[in-house]
Structure 1
Amino acid sequence: MILIVDDIEANIIALKKILELHNLEVDTATSGEEALKKILKKNYSLIIMDVQMPKMDGFEVVEILAGNKKTKDIPVIFLSAVNKQKKFISKGYQTGGVEYITKPVDPELLILKVKTFLKIYNQQNELKIVRDLLAKEIEIRKKDQENLEIIVAERTKELVQKNEELEMRNHELQQFSWVVSHDLKEPVRKIQIFIKMIKERFLIQEEKSLDYIDRTIRSAERMENLITDLLEYSRLSSNVPPEETDLNLIVEEIVTDFDYLIDKKEASIYVGNLPVLNAIPSQMRQVFQNLIGNSLKFTKKDVKPVIAISSQIIASKSFDSEPSEDGKYCRIEVKDNGIGFDENYIDRIFMIFQSLNVRSAYEGTGIGLAIAKKIIEKHNGLITAKSVANEGATFILILPLTNEIN
């Protein structure tokens, strides 16, 4: 809405008619005092102000408007038929007017200027609304960010505390494992020693007694192996830095360690060219010792064991990945011609204390493959197996050549 302020009624009527012909909404005031009262109650987009008025002239009114936060941005066009000198025009601009027009007024020029200042005022209002919205949005986001930072800081503190507690408990658990291992192994060793002494010194001719003694010794040996395997399984959670590991040397050492059993079973072991990778050597040794040991253990009667170990460099961490010279992973297969197993039970063979074979026929603690799986996963790798009962088994490992240990 436009406010016309003039103390002469005829001037108001003429201006109002010009503006209303262009569909502009108009309000009027016949004095500065009346104008101020209306401006405080209503919102105006433009004021056309006569300069020469009794009591309070147009300059005084505009100075008051300029000092008020609510009204200082309303554009004011001064109109004057008397005060045409340069000093009055300058004063009009200094007090806050946007234009100073002398009478007689050119209606077309007046309308053009009125529409221009209305457009500018509306655009400024829109910008102000956008600016206010942005300011509010920034304030909201700032508060959200502060709240988020507080939440993150609190959560981080909780996680640090929990991690410290976990590390402490893990350390305590490792110490406990060592103590328990020692305390459990010691009486088992004494049982073995005393039973062997009884056998060698007092039961030389007692065949039935010797059988019971042999069974007791084997049970004690199984208990010792179980304690050792449990200790090894618990130690896998400790942090050990990886290093360059040549799997060829590790497998060569394991084959040497199994020399007696290999000769006894007349086994053949074929080892292809294995990769050098970033790993924990002692843990890689455990994996291949378990796999090769199982292939030598679970053999068919009257069939000489044949074990083949091969590897390929592959493109991705997948059992079905294509070979690639530039690949970042290796696929290793340990294949044998032993008793195998039913693939329906594939998940069970990697679980602790799970065995698919009769313990009286095949000695074992049921922990070896669980240890192997945990080690491979700790090295960011994969392990699985393929088999048909009584037709051998193939264990497949996927390992990264370079990696950070979990």
Structure 2
Amino acid sequence: MILIVDDIKANIIALKKILELHNLEVDTAESGEEALKKILKYNYSLIIMDVQMPGMDGFEVAEILAGNNRTKDIPVIFLSAVNKQKRFISKGYETGGVDYITKPVDSDLLILKVKTFLKIYQQQKELLDIKDLLSKEVEIRKEAQENLEVKIKERTKELVAKNEELELRNHELQQFSWVVSHDLKEPLRKIQIFINIIKDRYLVGDEKGIDYVNRTVKAADRMQNLISDLLEYSRLSAKVTPEKVNLNDLIEEVLIDFDYLTETKKAIININKLPTIQGIPTQLRQVFQNLIGNSLKFTNDEVTPMIDVSSEIIESRDFNSDVNEEGSYCRITVKDNGIGFDDQYLNKIFMIFQSLSDRKVYEGTGIGLAIAKKIIEKHNGLITAKSQVGAGASFIMILPLQFTE
């Protein structure tokens, strides 16, 4: 349940209607004192609180909540139509708020933030429940007899694995919600619309002004790509049913998407026969799109771009496994003769938001290889790379022929 705290009844009615339209359960309070009484009596997953109220203001309520073990983890979003200065916003975060929104409120953005923080709160609650359960299991193990030791250890191992999984997903969700909560998407759309209106209506013949506008549009496009890549990364945790995937057909589709870039750079792409495996087609397509796209992007101007995609059936899930036509895995290599990178940064290139290239020369969001790694691991596979600066790069993937999680 969400608690709305505001001393103006009209504000409460408007906010309540917005939230209830999205099937969110809502309670209300018209003062800080009333809010505290209700919070002590009921359990809330999120509090939306006005800053300026007679008597006890929003900051004072938040400080009291932060000092209580039962209420310290309830996320608080501050709303204010008056206190918009930086010092008030800073105070909001210092008193325990997770966000500070100034009025008038963008309803779409508010709903996005509310759902994000509700999800984070639920993940944290599940994490605490798992930790409590783990603690109880440890106590049981201490008191149990010897014939129960094996079962307890197995159960503890399962709980630890679940605990680690929840912590990882919670961390990823917090990263994603942090980006979304900084008001990227809606302001960006308006920037793109209005900057193009300015260009078409008011800058005709002004070459310098048009140049500045074009730079702004280009920056907005880069930000749009970043948002799209973040959304793609966040979706990879969803459960999808695997199916048979002919990798030859899949790569043909990818190459069609790159027709223009391939012709422009006069690139030569060689595809050896690839196997049919069991997997998630859209995700595997994303892997090859990212790898081949990088090979076409990071080319060496002095030589004709060459990209080779090859595969072989191997015995085991190991980069150095022997070739065996009866094996259960395939080893796929995407090799190019581009700018390459220093091998010492191998682990860094697969981390989200990491890029080893000059983004002024080579545009990108630094998420593509992180997406590829996450997809390969979701297919119970492995991915690595070999490279030297100026001598191209080879990305090697190990994938099972049959999908296993």
TM-score by length of 1: 0.58
Matched, 1:278 2:278: yes
What are the superposed Cα offsets for residues 46-93 of structure 1, whole Å, 9 maximum, x if unpaired?
xxxxxxxxxxxxxxxxxxxxxxxxxxxxxxxxxxxxxxxxxxxxxxxx
Give the match's secondary structure for 1:366. coil
Q: Does 1:359 pair with 2:359?
A: yes
1:326 CA displacement: 0.2
1:294-333 alignment, distance < 5 Å: 294-333=294-333
In structure 2, relative to structure 1, the CA distance for the partners of 1:160 and 1:264 (3 Å cut) is closer
The letter for the 1-side match of 2:199 is K
Q: 1:91 maps to which residue?
A: none
User: What's the C-alpha RMSD, in Å, of the aligned pairs?
Assistant: 3.3
Give, in whole Å, the separation in 1 of the partners of 2:390 and 2:162.
Answer: 52
1:228, 1:400 → 2: CA distance? 29
Q: C-alpha displacement at 1:181, in angstroms? A: 9.3
Taking the aligned partners of 2:317 and 2:338, their CA distance within structure 1 comes to 28
Distance 1:181 1:303, change over 3 A: farther
Amino acid at match of 1:188: L
Larger Rg: 1
Q: Return the offset for 1:192.
A: 1.3
Distance 1:318 1:301, change over 3 A: same
SS in 1 for 2:300: coil
Which residue identity is paired with 1:359? R
Q: Is the 8 A contact 1:177 1:234 kept in 2?
A: no
Deviations for 1:97-133, whole angstroms, at most 9, x for unmatched residues? xxxxxxxxxxxxxxxxxxxxxxxxxxxxxxxxxxxxx
- How far apart, CA to CA, are the structure 2 residues paired with 1:285 and 1:262? 18
Find the aligned partners of 2:391 and 2:243 in 1 and give their Cα distance.
Answer: 37
- Aligned equivalents of 1:274 and 1:366: distance in 2? 28
Summarize the Cα distance change of 1:154–1:332 in structure 2 as closer, same or farther, 3 Å threshold. closer
Letter in 1 for 2:270: Y
Query: Structure 1 pair 401/148, CA: closer, same or farther in 2 (3 Å)?
Result: closer
Aligned to 1:50: none
2:344 matched to which residue of 1?
344
Q: What 5-or-longer segments of structure 1 have no aligned partner?
A: 1-141
SS in 2 for 1:277: strand
Q: Aligned-pair distance for 1:158?
A: 7.0
1:371 aligned partner? 371
Write the distance in 1 (CA, Å) between the matches of 2:148 and 2:289: 55
Give the aligned partner of residue 95 of structure 1.
none
How far apart in 2 are the matches of 1:341 and 1:156?
Answer: 39
Structure 2 equivalent of residue 396 of structure 1: 396
Name the counterpart of 2:230: 230
- What is the number of equivalent residue pairs in this alignment? 260
Partner Cα separation in structure 1 for residue 160 and residue 389 of structure 2: 48
Percent identity reads: 61
Give 1:185 deviation, angstroms: 2.6
Quick one: which amino acid aligns to residue 379 of structure 2? H
CA apart distance, 1:231: 1.2
Flag the 1:276–1:197 CA change in 2: closer, same or farther, 3 A: same
Q: Structure 1, residues 265-323: CA drift from partner, whole Å, max 9, x if none?
A: 11121111111111111110111010000001001124331111111111111112221
Task: Tell me how far 1:216 sits from its aligned partner.
Answer: 0.8
Q: 1:253 corresponds to which residue?
A: 253
Displacement of 1:240 in angstroms is: 1.4
Work out the CA distance in 2 between the residues paired with 1:195 and 1:213: 7
Cα distance between partner residues in 2 of 1:368 and 1:160: 27
**Cα distance change, pair 387–211 in 1 and its aligned pair in 2 (3 A):** same
Larger CA deviation: 188-197 vs 325-334? 188-197
Give the aligned partner of residue 32 of structure 2: none
> What runs of 5+ residues in structure 2 fail to find an aligned partner?
1-143
Deviation digits for residues 126-166 of structure 1, max 9, x if unmatched? xxxxxxxxxxxxxxxx95446876x5799699789979x95
Question: Does structure 2 conserve the Cα–Cα contact (< 8 Å) formed by 1:178 and 1:231?
Answer: no
**CA–CA separation in structure 1 for the residues paired with 2:273 and 2:178:** 37
Distance in structure 1 (CA, Å) of the matches to 2:158 and 2:301: 61
